[in-house]
C-alpha cells in the first residue's frame, strides 16, 4: 500500500515539475499573458464606464507590480526584456489616463496593448514548438 502511494506520488511529481528553464519561461509568459489580458479588459470596461475609477487604477498598478515580480529573473529569449519594458510603459500610460479621468486618452494605449498581446502570443507559440 505504501509503495503504491509512493509510486503514484513520484509519478505526479515527475510529470508535473517545471524543472527546466524553458518550462519556467513558458510559465512566466503565460502569467504575463493573463495579466496583460486583464489589463486590456480593465481598460475596455473602464472606457465603457462599467468599473469605478479607483478600482481600475489600483488594478492596473497591481498588474504592473505582478508583471515586474514575475519577470524579475528573466532569461531565455533575448527579445523579451524589451517587450516587457514596452508593456510596462503602455500600462503606465493607461494608469495615467485613469488617474486623470480622461477616457479619451486610454484609446491609444489600448490599441498598443492589443499589439503587445499579439507579440506575447507569438512568442509563446514559438516556445511551444521547441522540443
Partner 1 sequence: MNKIREIALGIVTSIGGFLDVGAIATAAEAGSSFEFQLIWTIVLGTICVIALVEMSGRLAAVSKHTLADAVRERLGFNFFIFPLIAEVIVDFLVLGAEIGGVCIALQLVTGISFQWWALPVAFAIWLLLWKGNFSLIENGISFLGLITLAFVVATFKLRPALPAVAEGLLPTVPQQDTAHYLFIAVSILGALISPYLFYFYSSGAVEDKWDKSHLGVNRAVAGLGMGFGSVVSLGVLIVAAQVLHPRGIHVDSYEQAALMLTQPFGYWGFVLFAASLGIACFGAALEVSLDTAYILAQAFGWNWGESLHPKEAARFSFVYTVFVFLASLLMVVGIDPLQLTLFSMALTAVILPLTIIPFLVLMNDRSYVGDHCNGWISNSITIFTIVLTFVLAIVAIPLEVLGG
126 binds partner 1 per the rule CB under 8 A? no
Are 33 and 117 in contact by the 8 Å Cβ rule? The answer is yes
50 binds partner 1 per the rule CB under 8 A? yes
Figure out which of the listed residues 2, 49, 69, 104 binds partner 1, where binding follows CB under 8 A.
49
Are 91 and 71 in contact by the 8 Å Cβ rule? The answer is no
Q: How many helices and strands, by DSSP H and E, does the chain display? A: 5, 0
Could you say which DSSP state residue 51 is in? Answer: S
- Residue 18, helix vs strand vs coil: coil
62 binds partner 1 per the rule CB under 8 A? yes
Among the residue ranges 52-60, 78-86, 89-97, 98-106, the one whose residues contact partner 1 (CB under 8 A): 52-60
Q: List residues binding partner 1 (CB under 8 A).
A: 5, 9, 12-13, 15-17, 30-31, 33-34, 37-38, 40-42, 45, 48-52, 54-55, 58-59, 62, 117
Amino acid at each position: 500500500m505504501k509503495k503504491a502511494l509512493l509510486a503514484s506520488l513520484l509519478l505526479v511529481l515527475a510529470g508535473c515539475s517545471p524543472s527546466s528553464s524553458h518550462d519556467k519561461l513558458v510559465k512566466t509568459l503565460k502569467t504575463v499573458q493573463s495579466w496583460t489580458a486583464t489589463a486590456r479588459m480593465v481598460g475596455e470596461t473602464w472606457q465603457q464606464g462599467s468599473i469605478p475609477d479607483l478600482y481600475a487604477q489600483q488594478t492596473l498598478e497591481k498588474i504592473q507590480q505582478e508583471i515586474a515580480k514575475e519577470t524579475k529573473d528573466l532569461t531565455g529569449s533575448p527579445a523579451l526584456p524589451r517587450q516587457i519594458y514596452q508593456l510596462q510603459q503602455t500600462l503606465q500610460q493607461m494608469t495615467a489616463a485613469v488617474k486623470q479621468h480622461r477616457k479619451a486618452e486610454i484609446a491609444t494605449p489600448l490599441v498598443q496593448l492589443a499589439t503587445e498581446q499579439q507579440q506575447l502570443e507569438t512568442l509563446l507559440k514559438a516556445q511551444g514548438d521547441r522540443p
